[in-house]
A and B are shown apart, each in its own frame.
Chain A
């Protein structure tokens, strides 16, 4: 029930609390309220929970997890213990 899933905004309609969007979740399109993310725009990804977008996905932050992994991989290459794991 508390799961929230990311989806891509296809189009935006209305204003203020009545602002909604058509959001695609891997091809399944649903109408979502943008009342709580007034900054969200077409083409962006939002995290949606029970019909409401609650956050706009920050792409730069999203990529950091993979940047972090890359750096760890490079560090592991320098660490002789890494091969034992």
Chain B
């Protein structure tokens, strides 16, 4: 086993799809929470293997997409300073702020570097004691342990030139916002496997009970997703609403305890604004008082800045499952990966980008076929 190819076997995938067809008797709407799952679903055409009764709607689980505009603007302001080396995961660089993106800052002479891991940014800080090194610490619970470790190491080493611009968000409060909305149509969730790898899944038990929705912790490969959908639909058909774990090869009930401990030491739970959605109480992480000296917002005096989003982009509705990307008037026209209006068109985990990459060509082909046969 290499735990990759085996889970992409088309014969096995068809077996799960057949099992779902045999199980389903009426319409159900499921939400996959995480953008990585959305990407797999669209890339492998998993939604097209499903019977028409089962509809998948795409959730808010893309950290790049939900990072609020004002935080992108703060990143741009900090990165443009001459004594700064600004480090980020690659997919944040093209996210549009109010005036440009991190690539445009780089093009204008700012020192913006793509790193694979936050600990790489710590190494850059060690190598450049004359510069201020800032890491853009975005992500869900999955990424929090790595980001926490970078801050912890910086404190251990007494690094005075390292800081983090934090935009950490937490998944369960966002699920509650969706479920608590009067317009909610989501009847079951595929919870994000890697978030649960870190956090476990006990915190989902009260949510499943309160809103009477099945929640299935699900992985990212095609077979994982199909098995997760099968388990979720089975619960719905049987009238059950429990938390089940499809992704047991990576997820334990209690999660990763050493990771949780360091996250709880370095960070504290705070209110967070989600791009396109608004502020959600207790839905993010900020630095704990003991590590406040590493807060880039304070260090660079940008904490008071706020910004309003472009009303044209309906990404908030897309990320709450209320609209599909193709329902947006700007999709594929004024909004493309080269000229994105909103973040879901930028990130590889964004729903709009996944549709644009995997669905557009095919619909163009159909249009061409149609016009040829018509002509």
Contact = CB atoms under 8 A, between A and B. Distances in A.
A37 interface: yes
A16 B252 CA distance: 22
Interface in B191-241: 192, 194-195, 197-198, 220, 223-224, 227
A43 interface: no
Interface stretch (B126-134, B141-149, B270-278, B355-363): B141-149
Nearest to B227: A65
A2 B142 contact: yes
Interface string A7-24: 010000000010000000
Interface string A55-85: 1011101111110110011001001011001
B1 A59 contact: yes
A77 B64 CA distance: 46
Interface size class of B (residues with CB under 8 A): 35 or more
A13 to B, nearest CB: 15
Nearest to B61: A2
A79 B21 CA distance: 13
Contacts of B90: 1
Contacts of A3: 36, 194, 220, 349
Interface residues of A, number: 40
Contacts, number: 136
Tell me the dominant secondary structure on chain B's binding face.
helix
A8 B351 CA distance: 31
B15 A69 contact: yes
A47 B4 CA distance: 11
Contacts of B349: 1-3
A65 to B, nearest CB: 6
B103 interface: no
Contacts of B142: 2, 4, 49, 54
Contacts of B140: 2
B146 A50 contact: yes
Contacts of B6: 66
B2 interface: yes
Nearest to A81: B22
Contacts of A49: 142-143, 146, 194
B44 to A, nearest CB: 15
A7 B27 CA distance: 39
A72 B15 contact: yes
Interface stretch (B111-119, B279-287, B310-318): B111-119
Interface of A: 1-6, 8, 17, 26, 33, 35-38, 45, 47, 49-52, 54-55, 57-59, 61-66, 68-69, 72-73, 76, 79, 81-82, 85
> What are the 3 A-B residue pairs with the smallest beta carbon separation, nearest first?
A51-B117, A62-B249, A61-B248
Given A2-B349, A50-B118, 11 more contacts: A1-B92, A1-B347, A1-B348, A2-B194, A3-B349, A45-B1, A54-B198, A57-B249, A59-B1, A62-B249, A68-B227
